[in-house]
Structure 1
């Protein structure tokens, strides 16, 4: 098991990279940092970090390196030099990218003798180092387990599975959830503003509705996983009529109806395919198809 004296290297000192390095320092880990613009390391150096003159020197400083750079091409640009020795190093890549990029990066790192975990940060920089910061990891579990005591300095670290692409997929799935909730709230807010109701007044009601819908998810997940969608609450064709009402009301009061129209178009396709008598989660069949299929 690792302890609070375990050295760690952080490569990439944007706002998030600075927050990551700061959390390691606060937890007592000797921390080496590198960034193309060296001035971004000034505060961290003042707090006790060591600024490495080169990427190779930064990697040599510890067996655990955290990458948080612009994109995956930047990762290769930094680590593919002839002077870089990755053998035995554990790379934890917290750079945003796709699941395909994560899997390819794992293959690339493995060819160079490195251990590799891909990750995603579900937090803003000020939350790093607190329990509110959720950091997702995917890749070989022994590599995660070996460094979890060190990674715990960053927040709530979570292991998802051996597939290196899982962290990226969870990341975008979380974004889909976030934007969908916010967009639905904005649609409702726009409707109510036409009657003089402000956003602050509507927000508690919207929060109550969102929390209630969240309670349905475990039961709906069982339907999706079993492939059976009995209409225990309401049938999709009933929901489609309510969608039509939402569209009509939006258009009548001069509010944009594109979002509910999109969802109703998907529901209409599912109904045409014979699923009108089943429950709402049957729409997974539509969400699982590429556009135009």
Structure 2
């Protein structure tokens, strides 16, 4: 079913969201602080709004994708929000989402906070995911339309939940990137071909290790870290070997050192028999 949808904010991500909605046959109204950014979308059939208020007035579903939450309040201030659904896909903190939800509700609108788990090039492609939290009624009403942008997944009525899960997934990503960069630096110090190392060795290894994480989650939720494959003492020794090797190869181990510090702390307290999952207790 075709919907009237407004998109406020046409950076790389906002423009990709609007384009995917147009491609799915929705009637899309767009607004951006720099009007020229709307030109390509208008050429594809979008309607240009001169002001945020005009964009909000045009559609029952308003998607906002701006730089930060302060910008969202600034842009929506004075707009006719009564009876609308505001889906805020701006990246922000859980506390900001929990603050914005009553602000929107006080103006007569339903609120959905979002977390976009994709880069702009992934929008409307397999693998793209957008997390939502807040008004379940609003989500159920517009889930088919939201699916044009990415798989929509509702995570609960707490408006802060989607931003929190978004940041948690980014945390996992940054940890993986940190490990890759340290590994690449070590391999590069020995002049070994990085492409070969990455594709034939590292990616298969990381894939196998990622498959262990659900079992780790069970240990963390139960609080029982006694069943281990390799305990903290073994890993303490292994990390010491890693750090010494990095320095001998002329590579900084800076991205590994925080992990080593936490392992050292827990082992020093006589808990070296536990598994790595027990580090959650330190956090």
Q: Return the TM-score normalized by structure 1.
A: 0.93
Deviation (angstroms), 1:246: 0.4
Q: How many residue pairs align between the two structures? A: 282
Instruction: Output the CA distance in 2 between the equivalents of 1:222 and 1:274.
Output: 23
1:102 is matched with which residue: 74, 97, 102? Answer: 97
Instruction: Output the CA distance in 2 between the equivalents of 1:233 and 1:258.
Output: 26
**How big is the alpha-carbon RMSD for the aligned residues of Structure 1 and Structure 2?**
1.2
Q: Which residue of 1 aligns with 2:223?
A: 227
1:196 is matched with which residue: 188, 191, 203? Answer: 191
Q: Which residue of 2 aligns with 1:91?
A: 86
Q: Which residue of 1 aligns with 2:4?
A: 7
How do 1:239-278 residues align onto structure 2 when only pairs under 5 Å count? 239-278=235-274
Aligned 8 A contact 1:9 1:58 in 2 = yes
Please identify runs of 4+ aligned residues in structure 1 that moved more than 6 A.
none
Instruction: Output the CA distance in 1 between the equivalents of 2:17 and 2:257.
Output: 42
Aligned 8 A contact 1:231 1:278 in 2 = yes
Deviation (angstroms), 1:194: 2.2
Which 5+ residue runs of structure 2 have no aligned equivalent? none
Instruction: Output the CA distance in 1 between the equivalents of 2:121 and 2:213.
Output: 30
Q: Which residue of 2 aligns with 1:21?
A: 18
Partner SS, residue 157 of structure 1? strand
Instruction: Output the CA distance in 2 between the equivalents of 1:134 and 1:245.
Output: 39
Deviation (angstroms), 1:22: 0.8
Which 5+ residue runs of structure 1 have no aligned equivalent? 289-293
Aligned 8 A contact 1:189 1:198 in 2 = no
Partner SS, residue 158 of structure 2? coil
Aligned 8 A contact 1:103 1:164 in 2 = yes
Q: Return the TM-score normalized by structure 2.
A: 0.96
Deviation (angstroms), 1:62: 1.1
2:32 is matched with which residue: 30, 35, 53? Answer: 35
Partner SS, residue 164 of structure 1? coil
Does residue 122 in structure 1 map to residue 117 in structure 2?
Answer: yes
C-alpha distance 107-274 of structure 1, shift in aligned 2 (>3 A): farther
Aligned 8 A contact 1:86 1:113 in 2 = yes
Q: Which residue of 2 aligns with 1:282?
A: 278
Deviation (angstroms), 1:244: 0.6
